[in-house]
Structure 1
């Protein structure tokens, strides 16, 4: 009984009607989610090439890391907001929520997370300079690639918008 109620609520919000041939676990075609996931995947994939350009080495592990160029967080939320704006209109409350979410995520990526990464870098340097007998001298290094520069955030945001625009045209 709960599954039917949940399915009815989801379909009412999405503006569709439930189909008896559609199983409850099937995700309907949702362009904003697909655009967001596509932008995230593309941004993570591009990090391999931007890392090569900067460091002249191929590092496929960059696809799984946070930080770097372009910001996948920014690409994701900007694709989501742009696709919602395209579908629902820029005057809709859903678009307003998506834009506020995108602004918070982008601000956090270039602010709090960037500075946390810089602090981790300094702490790692301090630990490396400790004498070998110190209890923290063998501590695992902290991850220092957490945040993004403003340029990386803007690049991710533009990538997300481009993905949303292209996904709209493919629909």
Structure 2
């Protein structure tokens, strides 16, 4: 069993479950497609990538090539979530608004015809910085849990927290 992979999948699943519970509380209904939606708190992409980096860092050490690759992947994923994907969502909002405006204009001027799209574009594609941070923190927690529970060794949390403290000290 690839423990790193399953730890990452668990982080993604946990983040999606947290998003669904928040949507249920807000809307009071749930749909299966919510399980695969992007955007919202916490970022499942960030949670998955950071849990992988955390697990590898604890397992192989912070100076390993594997940890460096997983960390770089995490940074790219988080940057993409806050940047490109978020801006794509903002563009989708503008396109949807433009569609509404064109429909109203063609209704006011009957000789002009506009074929309306069936559905609006999905607007919630990316994340706010706090949603990415929430996913990253969840990823660290689940990465530590995955490492600590490996092969039934539950006393490994101390190493995980030492690793986190050491990593944060190096950043400050």
TM-score w.r.t. length of structure 1? 0.77
In structure 2, stretches of 5+ residues that fail to align are 151-172
CA distance in 1: counterparts of 2:90 and 2:119, whole angstroms? 16
Is the helix fraction higher in 1 or 2?
A: 2
CA distance in 1: counterparts of 2:113 and 2:54, whole angstroms? 52
CA distance in 2: counterparts of 1:134 and 1:31, whole angstroms? 57
Deviation of 1:57 after TM superposition, in Å, equals: 2.4
Equivalence for 1:110 = 82
* Pick aligned residue for 1:86 from 47, 58, 69: 58
In structure 1, stretches of 5+ residues that fail to align are 1-28
| Bigger relative contact order, structure 1 or 2 (CA pairs below 8 A, ≥6 apart) | 2
Equivalence for 2:134 = 155
Work out the number of aligned pairs and report it. Answer: 142
Equivalence for 1:26 = none
Deviation of 1:49 after TM superposition, in Å, equals: 1.7
Equivalence for 2:39 = 67
Determine if contact 1:82/1:161 at 8 Å carries over to the other structure: yes
Greater mean deviation of Cα atoms: 103-112 or 161-170:
161-170
CA distance in 1: counterparts of 2:113 and 2:30, whole angstroms? 33
Determine if contact 1:127/1:136 at 8 Å carries over to the other structure: no
CA distance in 1: counterparts of 2:117 and 2:9, whole angstroms? 38
- Say if 1:143 and 1:167 are closer, same or farther in 2 by CA, change over 3 A: same
Equivalence for 1:7 = none
CA distance in 1: counterparts of 2:113 and 2:141, whole angstroms? 51
SS class of match (2:24): helix
CA distance in 1: counterparts of 2:133 and 2:80, whole angstroms? 13
RMSD: 1.5
Query: Does residue 21 of structure 2 align to residue 42 of structure 1?
Result: no
Deviation of 1:166 after TM superposition, in Å, equals: 1.0
Equivalence for 2:146 = 167
